[in-house]
Structure 1
C-alpha cells in the first residue's frame, strides 16, 4: 500500500472546522476572535511508551488521548490535530491501520475535532500527534498560578496504569478482573477535557499526570514558587489498588504516571465550586493536600501523619528511565 493510498483509505475526512484540511501542503485555520491558540505535541515510541502487544484500537485512542490531556490541563477547547506516523512494513497494513485509525477517530469524534494533516514514512513504529485548541484570551490554566494556602486536588483515582505496568513487567500479579480494569486505565486513558474547561476561572494552576504525581507536582511548584504537603490518607484508591501492599500503593499513586488525570490547585473558598463541578461531570475530585511556602518543598505524610521518604517516587524521565 502506497503512502497516499494509506492516508486516503484510513485518515482522510472532509474538512469541517478547518478552512482546508488533509490534502494540501498546509492546513488552513481561521482563529476565533477573542480566543488564544493552544498547541501541544507528543511522540509515542514502541517499546518506550507502549508495548508491542497493545491492541491497535486502544493505541490509536491513547495516541490522541495523551495530547488531549495536555489541552485539558490548560482548560482549552480542542479544535483539530495532526498525525505523523513512522510505520514498519508489518504495520503498514489494514490489519493494523484500520483499528488504529478507528480508535483515534472515535475519540476525535467524541471531542468534536478533526484530523487536518500530518505525515507518514517507513521506519520503527512511532506516533507523533500535535493537537490544537482554543481558550478565551487570558483564561488558560497554567502551572504558574498556584498560591500558598491553595488546596491541592486530583481527579479520578491515579495509580491503576502503573499497576498494570507492574503486571506486564512480571513484578506482581492480579486477578483477571482487576488486571483488566488496570490495563484499561493504562491503554485507554480518558482525557479530562470537560473538567479543564470547567476549571477556567476556578483553578489557579493545573497539570496532567503523565510522569507521576510527585514529578508533575514538582513542575507546578517550580513554576509557581511554592511547596506542597500531600496527605496519603486522602488519596483516592480503587479496590484493585487498595488490596496491594503499602509500597506498591505508594509507587503506583505517587510515581506511576500514565494516568492522565488532572492535578490542580484552587483557593479554599472555591472548594464547594470544585465539588459541584465534579458532581456535574460525574467525576471524582479529591483534595489531597495544600500548597505551602517554597522553602518547605514537597512533603508527603502517611496515614498516621508521619513524613515518608520520597527517594523512590520521583517522576518519569525519558532519558533516565530504564
Structure 2
C-alpha cells in the first residue's frame, strides 16, 4: 500500500508552477516559502469539509475536490482578494487510487482556473474530511470587510440564490444527473473571485453566502451596528428552483438554505449602476434586495426564516435550513 508521501507525490505535487506564482519553495518541505507582492495585504482563510455534513460521501470524487477548494476561495472573494496559494489536508480511510486521481483532478482544475498554487498540505488516515487553507492578496485600502455598511446603503446579491439547497433536495430524492443546474450549484459551486475584485471601491461591506442569506447578512449587520429591510419578492431564484421545490419552499431556500457561495454586499445607491456594469462584463447579475436601516434586525421577512446553518445547533434538526447537514 502506498504511503502518504507517495500519495502526495503522485497526486498533490504540481509538476510546474506558473511564472509569477510567488512560490520560492512549494510542496515537499516542512513549510512553503511564499513571496507576496509589494504593497499587498495577505488574506487567509480556512474551511473544513466533512463527508455527510458538507457533502455526500457518494458524490463524484472530482466534484468533492472542486467543492472543497471552492468553498474556501469564496471567502477570498468576499474580501475582494485575488487568490494566490492554498494548502490542503485530506483525511480518508481508504487510499483508493482511482478516487484520489479524480479528487485531485477536480482540485487542480479549480486551482488552474483561479490562479491558485497548491503549495503544501497533508494526507492522513481517518473519516473522509478535507481542510483547505487559502491565501490571497488585496490592496490594504480596498479590502472588503463586514464592518462598513451604512444606513441607506442598498443590499444586493450576485447571481441567484437557493441553488445549493435545491441541489441537496434533488440529491436526497435520488437525482444523479450531474448536468442538472441545481446539482451543479450544490456540488460544483463557483467562487465569485472576479466579482469581489470588481466591487472593490464600490461596496462598503461584503460577505459570502455559505450558511444562508439571512444568517450571513446578520453577521454584516452586527459588525456594522445597523439593521436591514429586505424585499423577499426581489430575491433572484436559481434556475429550476421553483420547479423543484415550489414557490414557498424556493423562497425559503433562497433566504436560509445556504451553500450558494454568492456574495451579498452593501453599497451606496449611487454605486449600484456602476457595480451592475462591472459585473455585467463578467456575465453576472447583481440584484438589489433591500436597504440598510438604523433599527437592528432584519425586517421584511418572516422571523422564523432568519436562521441559517449553525454547527452544533442545526445538525440533526429536522428541516434545518441549510444545504449542509444530511446529504
Q: Same fold (TM over 0.5)?
A: yes
Provide the rounded CA distance (Å) in 1 between the counterparts of 2:251 and 2:57.
27
What does the per-residue CA deviation read over 1:219-259, in whole Å, with 9 as the maximum and x for residues that have no partner? 00000011111101211124412344333022210011000
The corresponding residue for 1:316 is: 309
Provide the rounded CA distance (Å) in 2 between the counterparts of 1:132 and 1:238.
29
Provide the rounded CA distance (Å) in 1 between the counterparts of 2:50 and 2:163.
21
Q: Map 1:111-190; keep pairs closer than 5 Å.
A: 111-170=114-173, 180-190=180-190
Conservation of the 8 A alpha-carbon contact between 1:15 and 1:21: no
Task: Sort the Cα spacing of 1:284 and 1:20 in 2 relative to 1 into closer, same or farther, 3 A.
Answer: same
Provide the rounded CA distance (Å) in 2 between the counterparts of 1:56 and 1:177.
15
SS at match of 1:315: coil
The range that moved more, 231-240 or 68-77, is: 231-240
Conservation of the 8 A alpha-carbon contact between 1:178 and 1:240: no
- How far the C-alpha of 1:179 sits from its partner, in A, is 8.3
Conservation of the 8 A alpha-carbon contact between 1:71 and 1:77: yes
SS at match of 1:124: coil
- How far the C-alpha of 1:15 sits from its partner, in A, is 4.5
The corresponding residue for 1:11 is: 12
- How far the C-alpha of 1:178 sits from its partner, in A, is 10
Provide the rounded CA distance (Å) in 2 between the counterparts of 1:262 and 1:317.
19
The corresponding residue for 1:256 is: 257
Q: CA RMSD in A?
A: 1.7
What does the per-residue CA deviation read over 1:67-90, in whole Å, with 9 as the maximum and x for residues that have no partner? 11000000001110000011112x
Task: Sort the Cα spacing of 1:237 and 1:34 in 2 relative to 1 into closer, same or farther, 3 A.
Answer: same
The corresponding residue for 2:91 is: 86
Provide the rounded CA distance (Å) in 2 between the counterparts of 1:187 and 1:169.
13
The corresponding residue for 1:45 is: 50
Provide the rounded CA distance (Å) in 1 between the counterparts of 2:134 and 2:285.
26
Provide the rounded CA distance (Å) in 2 between the counterparts of 1:320 and 1:169.
21
Q: Please say if 1:70 is aligned against 2:63.
A: no
Q: Which residue among 107, 111, 119 is the counterpart of 1:108?
A: 111
Q: Map 1:183-222; keep pairs closer than 5 Å.
A: 183-222=183-222
SS at match of 1:141: coil
The corresponding residue for 1:226 is: 226
Compute the TM-score of the two structures, normalised by the length of structure 2. Answer: 0.91
Provide the rounded CA distance (Å) in 2 between the counterparts of 1:127 and 1:178.
22
The gaps in structure 2 that reach 5 residues or longer are 317-327
